[in-house]
Amino acid sequence: MDLIPSFTVDHTKIVPGIYESRVDTLGEELATTFDVRMRFPNKEPAIDPAAMHTIEHLVATYLRNHEDWKDQLIYWGPMGCMTGCYIIVKGRPAPSDMYPILLEAFRYVRDYEGDVPGATPKNCGNYMMHDLPMAKWEAARYVDYLEKADKDVIFTYPTTERLVLDDEQTFYDS
């Protein structure tokens, strides 16, 4: 079995950001999958599954109701490794085109008050596994990161040494 493309990216060099993960052709149409990376893989703790579940519900709700994006969105959901999410959209927008809408969506999570949409036994397969306060905290952290981050860095998978984190720069020294 071959490694699928997203596994061949060197995860020791990935920093949080928005990356084009793959582009698929469906007949005449393109569909683009973006790696919405929220954590430094293997260098800081992954996102708690309950917080991630809530982020999934809230961002999905936001995007599926968004005038400009509801018809472009094919899929939104968390990565199994819990360090980010995937969004699949029609066409081939650039990561920088996804930046404003993702910022909007994560600000929506950050500022959200009330019941988590769809968190009921009828609408969700694990409705008690939600954590809105942590989802808001994670969203605030990611928004802050995206706003401040070097835009030359967060839209292109790292391939150069300058992006490699030294051992001294890890969040948890062993």
Closer by beta carbon to Zn ion, 30 or else 124: 124
For residue 57, the minimal CB distance to Zn ion (Å) is: 6
Residue 140 binds to Zn ion (criterion: CB under 5 A): no
Cα 102 to Cα 104: distance, rounded to the nearest angstrom: 5
Helix axes 132-148, 49-64, angle to 10 degrees: 70
Beta bridge partners of 90: 31
Closer by beta carbon to Zn ion, 84 or else 95: 84
CA distances from 124 to 19, 40, 52, 68 (A): 29, 29, 14, 26
First to last CA, the chain: 35
Residue with smallest beta-carbon separation from Zn ion: 124
For residue 170, the minimal CB distance to Zn ion (Å) is: 32
Total number of residues that touch Zn ion (CB under 5 A):
1
User: Residue 73 in contact with residue 89, Cβ under 8 Å?
Assistant: yes
Subset of 3-22 contacting Zn ion (CB under 5 A): none
Residue 129 binds to Zn ion (criterion: CB under 5 A): no
**Which listed range, 79-87, 99-107, 124-132, 142-150, lies at the site for Zn ion (CB under 5 A)?**
124-132
**Which listed range, 37-45, 104-112, 122-130, 143-151, lies at the site for Zn ion (CB under 5 A)?**
122-130
**Which listed range, 60-68, 78-86, 119-127, 166-174, lies at the site for Zn ion (CB under 5 A)?**
119-127
Closer by beta carbon to Zn ion, 73 or else 124: 124
Closer by beta carbon to Zn ion, 27 or else 133: 133
User: Residue 76 in contact with residue 86, Cβ under 8 Å?
Assistant: yes
Residue 124 binds to Zn ion (criterion: CB under 5 A): yes
Cα 41 to Cα 83: distance, rounded to the nearest angstrom: 6
Taking the CA of residue 6 as centre, how many other CA atoms within 13 Å lie in the half-sphere pointing to its CB? 17
Residues that bind Zn ion (CB under 5 A): 124
